[in-house]
Amino acid sequence: MVSGEAVNIGEAGRQSGVSAKMLRHYESLGLLGKVNRTDSGYRLYSPADVHTLRFIKRCRDLGFSMAEIAELVGLWQNRRRTSSSVKKIAQKHVDELNARIDAMQSMQRTLSGLVDCCHGDERPDCPILDDLAGTPQAARLRAGDL
């Protein structure tokens, strides 16, 4: 629950689900704007700051980069933004995620094929190691020649 009063870094972290270390990092990147401080120098986070921290955390949970998050925070805080600007960032991220998923699925297929080709017995021959070393036998196994 967020009260109407400013809270210290520990409470802001608890309310937003962001660690104190990351709170300080986000502040250093300028994602929070200027955070108020007490006379003794302790940070005080407003309800709006905590809300922004939740926004940032959700962006991080979805895998956005810090540069993308900075753009999204700026757009979120700009009431004159266009939704097309936001969609462009999100679509680019979706495309990057799809590329990473494709690459990981390719790795999984390759490794599964190598595991299937390995006898896993007492013999020293190992197509997994051959492939990692780039030996000709591994290339033939990948091509299905053996």
The CATH number for 36's domain is 1.10.1660.10
The CA distance from 124 to 92, in Å, is 46
Q: What is the span of the domain harbouring residue 20?
A: 1-64
Is 5 within the bounds of a domain?
Answer: yes
How far apart are the C-alpha atoms of 109 and 91, rounded to whole Å? 27
Altogether, the residues listed in the chain come to a count of 146
79 falls within a domain: no
- What is the domain count for the chain? 1
In a domain, residue 69? The reply is no
Q: Does some domain include residue 16?
A: yes
9-13, 46-50, 129-133, 136-140: which has the minimum mean pLDDT? 136-140
Is residue 31 in a domain?
A: yes
**What's the distance, CA 34 to chain centroid?**
25
pLDDT in tens, 6-43: 999 999 999 999 999 999 999 999 999 888 899 998 99
Range of lowest pLDDT (14-28, 52-66, 96-110, 128-142): 128-142
